[in-house]
């Protein structure tokens, strides 16, 4: 096994308690958002008030971890002050970087807070060197979070042609790989992933049992799955529903419930030039965060020392017990 420099382990936190858990489990960096629509995980009960974020930044910094503010949804006309205020608050609180998707907000950060470290969110969907270098040249972006549509070989080619760091997702939910561009939930609920930060809002989810204890899952007016008695199911999203189509009945027409798990590809990713490894899941429980973060901490440390890590625990944490290396290795498209 080749030894390598340790990459930064970037972990999710939906609450102050999760942030402390992630830091204690070995995160180098934790990303989180303010309450409200300014970030792409705007679920009830999640995210931070300004006071909570202030305490959380102190907690992380006292333990040599950094905190990144995800302000990565897209403001609509008349609402931009909310996003600008979030940026101002993040700067005031000493966040180590702000993660931006909207090009106007990138300009706002560059103009009003030129010393603030700026990362380009996966939601910006920048996957070509030309697009990434535009953000670097115009706004001083220091890191791009790459969309999950590139192979490792393509990441290497991007790395060789850009002037900023690369952060890549390595574990967690994987949707239709259309970050910043998915409108399925808008169509069904009127609430937008990209502008309101919510996919499949809980207020629109209904479960309808039948006499055999099967559960039909509805989102808005649409049935998106039917779960048999005893079958395990994740949180319902349209992209992972089962549908009857002209080709086939009752099948995952878009994407199966499955988790991205790139543990085995970590050495290849590092060699390709990835400097930060991102775990998805700000909506996840503290127990999940603790297990995934500590497993990745061990895996990175083992690889860096030239050893083979034990990743069996991570497989148990994947959605539906199923994992994929997605486009990074061998994604097949329908």
Taking the complex as a whole, the smallest distance from the CB of residue 188 to ligand SF4 amounts, in Å, to 9
198 near ligand SF4 (CB under 6 A): no
- Smaller CB separation from ligand SF4, 4 or 243: 243
CA atoms of 286 and 284, how far apart (whole Å): 7
Tokens coding 20: 């402390």
Examine residue 124 and tell whether it contacts ligand SF4 (CB under 6 A): no
Query: Mask: binding to ligand SF4, 204-243, rule CB under 6 A, as x and -?
Result: ---------------------------------xxx----
Gap between the Cα atoms of 272 and 268, Å rounded: 6
Which parts of the chain fold into alpha helices (H)?
Answer: 16-24, 50-62, 80-92, 103-112, 129-139, 152-161, 184-189, 193-196, 266-272, 286-304, 312-316, 326-329
Q: Which residue has the tokens 């060699």?
A: 271
Of 42, 60, 18, 52, nearest to 287 by C-alpha is: 18
176 binds ligand SF4 (CB under 6 A): yes
Query: Binding ligand SF4 by CB under 6 A: which of 185, 189, 217, 295?
Result: 185
67 touching ligand SF4, by CB under 6 A: no
Q: Does 189 bind ligand SF4 (CB under 6 A)?
A: no
Indicate if the alpha-carbon torsion angle 33, 281, 117, 194 is positive or negative. Answer: negative
**Of the ranges 123-131, 133-141, 179-187, 311-319, which one interacts with ligand SF4 (CB under 6 A)?**
179-187
Site for ligand SF4 in 156-175 (CB under 6 A): 175
In the complex, the residues that contact ligand SF4 under the rule CB under 6 A are 175-176, 178, 182, 184-185, 193, 199, 237-239
């Amino acid at each position: 096994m080749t030894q390598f420099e340790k990459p930064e382990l970037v972990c999710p936190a939906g609450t102050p308690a999760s942030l402390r858990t992630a830091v204690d489990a070995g995160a180098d960096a934790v990303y989180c958002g303010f309450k409200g629509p300014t970030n792409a995980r705007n679920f009830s009960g999640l995210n931070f008030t300004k006071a909570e974020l202030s305490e959380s930044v102190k907690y992380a910094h006292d333990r040599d971890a950094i905190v990144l503010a995800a302000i990565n949804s897209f403001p609509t006309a008349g609402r931009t002050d909310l996003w600008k205020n979030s940026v101002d608050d993040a700067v005031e609180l000493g966040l180590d970087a702000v993660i931006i998707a909207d090009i106007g907000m990138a300009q706002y950060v560059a103009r009003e807070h030129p010393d603030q470290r700026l990362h380009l969110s996966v939601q910006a969907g920048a996957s070509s060197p030309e697009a990434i270098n535009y953000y670097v040249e115009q706004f001083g972006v220091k890191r791009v979070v790459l969309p999950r549509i590139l192979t490792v070989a393509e990441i290497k080619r991007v790395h060789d042609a850009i002037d900023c760091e690369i952060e890549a997702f390595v574990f967690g939910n994987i949707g239709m790989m259309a970050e910043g561009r998915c409108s399925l939930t808008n169509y069904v609920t009127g609430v937008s992933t990209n502008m309101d930060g919510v996919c499949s809002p809980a207020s629109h989810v209904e479960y309808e049992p039948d006499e055999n204890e099967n559960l039909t899952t509805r989102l808005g007016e649409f049935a998106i799955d039917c779960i048999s008695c005893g079958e395990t199911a994740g949180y319902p999203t349209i992209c992972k529903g089962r549908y009857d189509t002209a080709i086939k009945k009752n099948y995952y027409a878009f994407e199966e419930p499955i988790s991205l798990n790139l543990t085995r590809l970590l050495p290849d990713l590092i060699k390709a030039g990835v400097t930060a490894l991102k775990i998805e899941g700000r909506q996840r429980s503290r127990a999940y965060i603790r297990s995934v973060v500590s497993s990745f901490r061990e895996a990175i440390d083992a690889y860096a020392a030239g050893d083979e890590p034990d990743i069996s625990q991570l497989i148990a944490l994947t959605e539906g017990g199923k994992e994929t290396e997605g486009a990074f290795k061998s994604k097949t498209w329908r």
